[in-house]
Structure 1
């Protein structure tokens, strides 16, 4: 039976630069879920950016070197540039002296540009909470990261999600985009003849670009994939939030026999 711990606790509990992942950080394959790993690295940089007043995160990319274990993790941050309007940083994830993932992110301070204001009306705010719960997960024999997520089906190709349990103890709205954007492949597969999939489909990276900071707790993912007979593919998803279109997320997928 899947038993979720106290929902007031985050998925990753913190001790300085060290983190204890709860069982809800687990993935469907070996090790931790890619959305949990990438979200943790981006959250650590997002917090540093807030402390240093770097501005808003606008893009971040994570490469996953190997499945991260369900054990004590360490994050390390290196500042690449900090000055003017643009700051850049790198973060790495370690366990037992071994490197498991590496991320980079860029931050930009806003500057008023009235000439670029859009003439059209802004999209009406959208509340996904009345939508049906996404039911394509199927029966789960163990607890995974999906147990920390509330996922709804928009019925128009967009899956909406919000955290049932916070990723980390501090605010990290940009990191939350990784938590849901990493699910673009299963979202896409669930609408095809390949569901349930006869293969594994881990992604070895994930990159998010946005045009503005995200608004609200909900993240919408509108997925599309281009898979090839050589066992490789790309999942390319549009991102939305409660205020309208937000950006894109791309993942390189390695398709493997089960």
Structure 2
């Protein structure tokens, strides 16, 4: 049973046009281009599609590998979902965002059987400063775009370029008129990790560093509306980088995320 929350009176990231057809709103607008969607709400919407696709009692989604195959255009698009590998206790699902006849994002996800293993339960990821001890933070405002503007942020001591600890939440549901599960709501924020502790400010260092993928492992079912990100960003000297995050909800760590980056000079920068 997934925990769901809803916020009445606030525009969602997407409008459902029927079947697998959707339309993005301004809240899904990306940070690199005005006419594209941010990957974060796209990931959340794809997780929603997987969560609702032929659900099976006693199983949950545990790993998501997103490949960003190009610019994700704003506006109308389709989501197509299927089973790649059926199984009684483990199955592999796939969802694709198709816009203008082109697949812009593809995700595969493992759905696995759950059972009682509390006798051996243990989590090694360390907790960071609780939400109640964090401070209001507007550091994401260095980024443009409707998605970033939709977020509320808080930070904890030790936040710096290359290593950031922040809490994020959104007042907006994923799809207009529908409740949003905690899994969809929180995973719909994870791609923000690449911007919370940027090694160079957007534009200022004449470099861009978009991610071309997002890999999320969820070892515990998350709860609540706040996502905690304990994030490290590394740049190699040959144009490749990596953003790595431990994911937290208000009760503690629940997963990890990785984003491979293409680090390159901004075209025409002086």
Q: Could you state the TM-score of these two structures normalised by the residue count of structure 2?
A: 0.81
| Matched pairs, number | 245
The offset of 1:252, in angstroms, is: 0.6
In the alignment, does 2:197 pair up with 1:188? yes
- Cα RMSD between the aligned structures? 2.6
The aligned counterpart of 2:5 is none
Partner of 2:161: none
Q: Is 1:176–2:185 an aligned residue pair?
A: yes
Residue 129 of structure 1, CA deviation: 6.0
Measured in 1, the distance between the counterparts of 2:108 and 2:102 equals 18
Match of 2:43 among 34, 38, 45: 38
The 3-state SS of whatever aligns with 2:53 is helix
1:114 offset after TM fit, Å? 4.3
Give distance in 1, aligned partners of 2:29 and 2:132: 25
Task: For residue 137 of structure 1, report the CA deviation from its aligned partner.
Answer: 2.8
Give 1:54 deviation, angstroms: 6.3
Question: How far is the alpha carbon of 1:158 from its aligned partner?
Answer: 1.7
Structure 1: runs of 5 or more not aligned: 1-5
Please give the alpha-carbon distance, in whole angstroms, between the structure 2 residues aligned to 1:248 and 1:117. Answer: 17
Gap regions ≥5 residues in structure 2: 1-7, 159-163
Offset at 1:173? 2.6
Q: What is the TM-score normalised by the length of structure 1?
A: 0.85
Aligned to 1:131: 134
User: 1:89 corresponds to which residue?
Assistant: 93
Larger mean Cα displacement after TM superposition, 29-38 or 214-223 = 29-38
